[in-house]
Amino acid sequence: MTMNVAAPQSPLLRWIYRGYLLAFFVYLAAPLLVAGLFAFNDSQFPSLPWQGWTLDWFFGEADPKVGLFHDRRLIEGLATSFKVGLVVSALSVLAGMGNAFLFERYDFPGKRYLYVLMVVPLVIPGVIVGISILVFASTIANGVEDALGWDWSLLRPGLPLVVLGQFSFLTTITSLVIAARLRKFDIALEEAALNLGAGRGRVLATITIPYLMPALVSAFIVAFLVSFENFNTTLMLVGSEAPLTITMYDRVAKVGSTPVLNAVSFVLMVGSGVLALLSVIVQRDPKRGTDD
Amino acid sequence: MSSADARRLSLILLFAPFFLWIAVLIVLPQLGIVGVSLREKIGPGEYVFGLANYSDFLGQPIYWNTLLRTAVMSILVTALALLVGFPVAYYIAKIAHRRSRTALFLLCLVPLWVSDLVRAFGWIILLRETGVVSTVLQATGLVSGPVELLYNDATVVVGLVYTVVLFMIVPLVSTLDGMDDSLIEAGLNLGGSRLTVFRRIVVPYAMPGIVAGCIIVFMMTAGSYLTPVLLGGKNSMWFTEQIYNQFITRYNWEAGATFGVLLLAFTSIVVWVGLRLTGQNLASTVATR
Amino acid sequence: MFDLQCQNVTKKFGALTAVSGVSLDVPAGSFFSILGPSGCGKTTLMRMIAGFETPTSGDISIKGRSVVGTPPNKRNVKMVFQHLALFPMMNVGENIAYGLRCRGAGKAEIADKVRDVLDRIGLPGVAHKQVSQLSGGQKQRIAIARCMVLEPDVLLLDEPLGALDLKLRERMKIELKLLQHQFNTTFLYITHDQSEALVMSDNVAVMNAGKFEQIGTPQELYHRPSSGFVAGFVGDSNRWRGRVASAAGAVCSIEVDGGTVVAASSGPLARGEEVEVFVRPEAIAIGPQGSAGGNNRMAGTVDSLLFNGANSRILVRSAAGALLEVDSPAAGEDTPLRPGDAVELSFAHARTLCFSAAARP
């Protein structure tokens, strides 16, 4: 067994190190475990003592044990989050694809600074993104109302504005993910396709996009996850229809919430975990072939 | 159309959406809130340009204190996240075997995808008066009655570190991953102690990753809302909360915009000072992302 | 008559001239190679023929028709890329069918043609396999089949054997030559490896710094090089510098370190001009041979024996200190010579070539 130079050499230190890592992962897991576990506790409160296993907090129909899938507001919130997530992810993957090609295939003045500008939306705190878009949209909407007497509801707090707000920083993420894959593309493949008689559009559709597909899928999933769990920006822009995070926040802030929120947490965790795993699997390289 | 013209056309077609996105959704709105922050309301529908909002802010000690408190705690959280996260990142990048490395890294990533809300909720269940930790402590007889672990600064810090530590670990792992073991071997071979090697070889090498991680973590912490508010309760005194209050409860957009601009400016200054002190610059750290 | 013609093609990239006034005529159905060191401009020339670059000046015609204005996806010259550029997201059959699909051929026709061409390259039935499952040599043949199925006027090959190891490369050289005969298509092959060019080609153009130095059959290039560059690049040669002592037509007397050498030159040389002298190892004999009237003689000591089977050579150090490589006299069998033996070398005047040593611009 080769010696690992980077590791501490004395066995005592090694064990302390391992102990530290274990403690760290327990620290990481504890709140999540607790949040999910109490979804199955047959008790009115998400706390000890443990009163037996139950699925009522998922499927229960009657008061006081209304389960997640029968709670109207929560289900609506889930549906809204899905709607918003799908739309904003699709839009940002499209925009990200365009940006990836723009930065990987073309040269133009100020490219370096514009690249930094592209990363900026991720660094600005979400609340500031939210308020800036709220103010900007309202200013335009007010101006339109004053000038034309028409209330442009698209720019008032509501789902379209939420989509715009999330789109502004999700596009940065999708651009970076897709550009990373595009950078590894061998341009000779496109030239070979041209040489064999394909038009530019055909080359894009049959060669470049299939190559990018893992990154497109992965970017979509990442954007969906980030959109689904977003709070800070969404809170500023939300109108009457609320995504799940906002709905759940209202409940958590109230004292005496039932473990149905734990059921929500459990579903969110499992869903996020599955999607996150998918996004990693999709980007893995296929196996190599044989040699002579 | 010649191929040069076709290329220029496609450049314009690709540049337009990019430009629209950045201009309409990022640049103009940011300028917008700066503009609103300079607006003073002197009557219904009457506005005049001025710095009254800013002087109001400075005149109210509570706002100023909240901003300072937020900044100081954010720096503390950043430092803690670095201290807590570095050993983990070091292990994953350098010590773990190849197979366990991917598994460990994935383990670290999964909590990232779970919402801030779920994480804060989990901490509440653990730490509140009727929560798990309190019940366990009572059951083992270490305390006589229910103990409230929430609603104090220490809990907020622990909760914030929890939220951001993974964002510190990821850039650290990717920087440390590129470090060749032979650098450590050379350092030891030339007579350095393990501490010297760590201090003078590993840390400087990892510096771009450290700086990138710290910037991300600091901005995230200063801008975070759910964790300080849910874990800190009424006396959380977090600046982001003030921004929300101005906008949502008081509908005072001028004050809210002012606070937003101040938060952005303040955190940018802290980041700039930090970069100067450690001798890095922004371009090199953006490149490592 | 000529499948491919270039007339005075020049390509400049800003201040850099990559290709300068190149003209060539490739007869139909022949194997034509462009041979030159890295950076000589051969890849740029090939990309201009394929249409990925536009010549700054000059004309390129295929089967008599100028193609300079035609975009790269409409020319009937198909290219085998250096790293093959087989599409990883398609299987072998789909790769080969790609060009046919672009032309709008029907499904049945495509299936037939793919099967045909796979038979012709000796890989029947692999259409369903993934590209990553093939070996290096098989991938080569698939890349060629992908082009040949479209029945191009000219097939361009951009150093396709570079990534293969030695034994496979030797085998592929012969295979390529056979394939070319079988398809009877004009092949244009670029390489920096002179043995590839010599073995496979009907004609070779030697290229250096953007210009063609010589065009001819492999034999012409080998036995009658027209410049010092060609003499040094094609095949092995002993070379050394000297100064013209006297010149009488094509026969010159060159002063080199340690004596005078009589050489044949391809062009007129002036007295006192700096020249380079080239003699091939197989042209040098050990021991006094023939009359002094037709041969140069040189005395030396055996420095070392380089055993390489039938290609064994003997390193001889001349009295003046120069090191010469001489083919071992008893090919394949061990020579009785030993290091330190004194020997006398002789080589014919006619096989001693000299060229002006003036540096090329």
Task: Kindly report, residue by residue over B245-273, the tens digit of the pLDDT.
Answer: 888 888 888 888 888 888 988 888 888 88
**Percent of chain B at pLDDT above 90?**
16
Count of CB contacts below 8 A, A vs B? 229
**Measured distance CA(A252)–CA(B227) in Å, rounded:** 12
At residue C265, does pLDDT exceed 90?
A: no
Asked which of C211, C229, C247 is the last residue of a domain, the reply is C229
Strands C211-216 and C259-265: unpaired
Average pLDDT, chain C: 87
At residue A1, does pLDDT exceed 50?
A: no
Q: Give backbone dihedrals phi and psi of C280, rounded to 5 degrees, phi first.
A: -80, 150
Q: Which region among A47-51, A259-263, B27-31, C310-314 has the lowest average model confidence (pLDDT)?
A: A47-51
pLDDT class of A291 with cuts at 50, 70, 90? very low
Task: Give me the mean pLDDT over the C61-89 stretch.
Answer: 89
pLDDT at C56: 92
pLDDT at B179: 82
Cα-based distances in Å from B257 to A115, B35, B203, B220, C42 = 27, 9, 40, 19, 63
CA distance B247 to chain A (A): 8
Is residue C84 located within the same domain as residue C149? yes
Is residue C256 located within the same domain as residue C280? yes
pLDDT at B207: 85
Contacts made by residues A51-58, CB under 8 angstroms, sequence distance 24+: A57/A258, A57/A259, A57/A260, A57/A262, A57/A263, A58/A263, A58/A267
Look at residue C336 and tell me if it is in a domain.
yes
Is residue C47 located within the same domain as residue C121? yes
**Measured distance CA(C267)–CA(A211) in Å, rounded:** 57
At residue B120, does pLDDT exceed 90?
A: no
pLDDT at A12: 86
pLDDT class of A285 with cuts at 50, 70, 90? low
CA distance A188 to chain C (A): 6
* Non-local CB neighbours of C244 within 8 Å, separated by 6+ positions: C252, C253, C254, C255, C269, C270, C271, C272, C273, C275
Helix (H) or strand (E) holding B39: strand B39-43
Total domains in chain C come to 2
**Gyration radius of chain B over CA positions:** 24
At residue A8, does pLDDT exceed 80?
A: no
Q: Over the range B32-69, which residues count as b (16 or more CB within 10 Å of their CB) and which as e?
A: bbbbbbbbbeeeeeeeeeeebbeeebeeeeebeebbee
> Nearest chain C Cα to A201, which residue?
C102
The answer to whether residue A210 neighbours chain C at the CB level (below 8 Å) is yes
The answer to whether residue A239 neighbours chain B at the CB level (below 8 Å) is no
pLDDT at A39: 81
> Nearest chain B Cα to A116, which residue?
B286
Partner residue facing C99 (CB), from A186, A188, A196: A196
Helix (H) or strand (E) holding B30: helix B28-37
At residue B209, does pLDDT exceed 50?
A: yes
The reply to whether residue B15 touches residue A121, judged by beta carbons under 8 angstroms, is no
The reply to whether residue C72 touches residue A206, judged by beta carbons under 8 angstroms, is no
Residues 158-197 in A contacting B (C-alpha not used; CB under 8 Å): 164, 167-168, 171, 176
Helix (H) or strand (E) holding B42: strand B39-43
Is residue C85 located within the same domain as residue C63? yes
Asked which of C206, C229, C252 is the last residue of a domain, the reply is C229
> Identity (one letter) of the amino acid at C300?
G
> Nearest chain B Cα to A258, which residue?
B125
Three-class HEC string of chain C: CEEEEEEEEEEEECCEEEEEEEEEEEECCCEEEEECCCCCCHHHHHHHHHCCCCCCEEEEEECCEECCCCCCCCCCEEEECCCCCCCCCCEHHHHHHHHHHHHCCCHHHHHHHHHHHHHHCCCCCCCCCEHHHCCHHHHHHHHHHHHHCCCCCEEEEECCCCCCCHHHHHHHHHHHHHHHHHHCCEEEEEECCHHHHHHHCCEEEEEECCEEEEEECHHHHHHCCCCHHHHHHCCCCEEEEEEEEEEECCEEEEEECCEEEEEEECCCCCCCCEEEEEECHHHCEECCCCCCCCEEEEEEEEEEEECECECCEEEEEECCCCEEEEECCCCCCCCCCCCCCEEEEEEEHHHEEEEECCCCC
CA distance C239 to chain A (A): 39
pLDDT class of B289 with cuts at 50, 70, 90? very low
What is the layout of strands, in order, in the sheet containing C16-27? C16-27, C2-13, C57-62, C65-66
At residue C188, does pLDDT exceed 90?
A: yes
Task: Give me the mean pLDDT over the C210-221 stretch.
Answer: 93
Residue among B76, B112, B116, B79 nearest B225 (CA):
B116
The reply to whether residue A121 touches residue B26, judged by beta carbons under 8 angstroms, is yes
pLDDT at A164: 94
Chains that touch C (3 or more CB pairs under 8 A): A
Task: Kindly report, residue by residue over A30-87, the tens digit of the pLDDT.
Answer: 888 888 888 887 777 777 777 777 777 777 776 666 777 777 888 899 999 999 999 9
DSSP string, A257-281: --THHHHHHHHHHHHHHHHHHHHHH
At residue C247, does pLDDT exceed 50?
A: yes
pLDDT at C359: 55
Is residue C220 located within the same domain as residue C150? yes
Helix (H) or strand (E) holding A82: helix A72-105
Task: Give me the mean pLDDT over the C186-214 stretch.
Answer: 93
Cis peptide bond prior to A243, omega within 30° of 0: no
The answer to whether residue A290 neighbours chain C at the CB level (below 8 Å) is yes
At residue A290, does pLDDT exceed 70?
A: no
Asked which of C195, C229, C263 is the last residue of a domain, the reply is C229
Is residue C220 located within the same domain as residue C240? no
Among A270-279, B6-15, C254-263, the range with the most confident prediction by mean pLDDT is: B6-15
Average pLDDT, chain B: 82
Task: Kindly report, residue by residue over B41-58, the tens digit of the pLDDT.
Answer: 666 665 666 677 777 777
Is residue C167 located within the same domain as residue C245? no
Is pLDDT larger for residue B167 or for residue A59? B167
The reply to whether residue A245 touches residue B115, judged by beta carbons under 8 angstroms, is yes
The answer to whether residue C83 neighbours chain A at the CB level (below 8 Å) is yes
> Where residue C54 sits, what CATH number does that domain have?
3.40.50.300
pLDDT at A288: 41
Longest alpha-carbon distance in chain B = 85
Task: Give me the mean pLDDT over the A221-237 stretch.
Answer: 91
At residue C44, does pLDDT exceed 50?
A: yes
Domain membership of residue C295 as a residue range: 236-356
pLDDT at B45: 60
Interface test mutation site (partner C, options A189, A195, A212, A287, max chain C beta carbons within 10 A): A195
The answer to whether residue C91 neighbours chain A at the CB level (below 8 Å) is no
Residues of A in contact with B6 (CB under 8 A): 200
Task: Give me the mean pLDDT over the C47-76 stretch.
Answer: 90
Task: Give me the mean pLDDT over the C267-277 stretch.
Answer: 82
Task: Give me the mean pLDDT over the B235-251 stretch.
Answer: 85
Look at residue C315 and tell me if it is in a domain.
yes
Task: Give me the mean pLDDT over the A190-209 stretch.
Answer: 92
pLDDT at B288: 42
pLDDT at A260: 81
Interface test mutation site (partner B, options A102, A161, A246, max chain B beta carbons within 10 A): A102
Is residue C215 located within the same domain as residue C301? no
Residues of A in contact with C73 (CB under 8 A): 194-200
**Measured distance CA(A173)–CA(A60) in Å, rounded:** 39
At residue A287, does pLDDT exceed 50?
A: no
Residues of B in contact with A262 (CB under 8 A): 121, 125
pLDDT class of B150 with cuts at 50, 70, 90? confident
**Measured distance CA(C50)–CA(C157) in Å, rounded:** 11
At residue B72, does pLDDT exceed 70?
A: yes
Report the length, in residues, of chain C. 361
Is residue C247 located within the same domain as residue C276? yes
pLDDT at B200: 81
Q: Are C92 and C121 in contact (CB under 8 A)?
A: no
pLDDT at A256: 57
Task: Kindly report, residue by residue over C282-300, the tens digit of the pLDDT.
Answer: 888 887 655 556 778 888 8
Partner residue facing C78 (CB), from A196, A287, A292: A196
At residue A193, does pLDDT exceed 90?
A: yes
Task: Give me the mean pLDDT over the C264-275 stretch.
Answer: 81
Task: Give me the mean pLDDT over the C35-51 stretch.
Answer: 91
> Identity (one letter) of the amino acid at B13?
L
The answer to whether residue A147 neighbours chain C at the CB level (below 8 Å) is no
**Percent of chain C at pLDDT above 90?**
38
pLDDT class of B5 with cuts at 50, 70, 90? confident
Residues of A in contact with B218 (CB under 8 A): none
Residues of A in contact with B17 (CB under 8 A): 95, 98-99
Task: Give me the mean pLDDT over the B69-83 stretch.
Answer: 92
Cα-based distances in Å from B36 to A137, B198, B245 = 13, 50, 17
CA distance A132 to chain B (A): 5
pLDDT at C332: 58
ipTM, 2 dp: 0.82
Is residue C205 located within the same domain as residue C313? no
The answer to whether residue A196 neighbours chain C at the CB level (below 8 Å) is yes
Is residue C156 located within the same domain as residue C31? yes
Residue among A236, A94, A104, A238 nearest A167 (CA):
A94
Partner residue facing C134 (CB), from A195, A206, A289: A289
Look at residue C205 and tell me if it is in a domain.
yes
pLDDT class of B281 with cuts at 50, 70, 90? low
Task: Give me the mean pLDDT over the C146-165 stretch.
Answer: 89
DSSP annotation of A108 reads -
The answer to whether residue A289 neighbours chain C at the CB level (below 8 Å) is yes
Task: Give me the mean pLDDT over the C19-37 stretch.
Answer: 93
pLDDT class of B12 with cuts at 50, 70, 90? very high
Residues of C in contact with A205 (CB under 8 A): none
**Measured distance CA(B81)–CA(B168) in Å, rounded:** 7
Task: Give me the mean pLDDT over the B124-144 stretch.
Answer: 80
pLDDT at C248: 80
pLDDT at A292: 39
pLDDT at A257: 67
pLDDT at C361: 39
pLDDT at C360: 46
Q: Are A93 and A216 in contact (CB under 8 A)?
A: yes
Chains that touch B (3 or more CB pairs under 8 A): A
Look at residue C361 and tell me if it is in a domain.
no
pLDDT at B285: 53
DSSP string, A183-228: HT--HHHHHHHHHTT--HHHHIIIIIHHHHHHHHHHHHHHHHHHHH
At residue A280, does pLDDT exceed 80?
A: no
Task: Kindly report, residue by residue over A89-99, the tens digit of the pLDDT.
Answer: 999 999 999 99
Q: Is B236 exposed, middle or buried (0-12, 13-18, 19+ CB in 10 A)?
A: buried
**Measured distance CA(C60)–CA(B270) in Å, rounded:** 63
> What domains are there in chain A, each with its CATH number?
73-282 (1.10.3720.10)
Is residue C31 located within the same domain as residue C56? yes
pLDDT at A191: 93
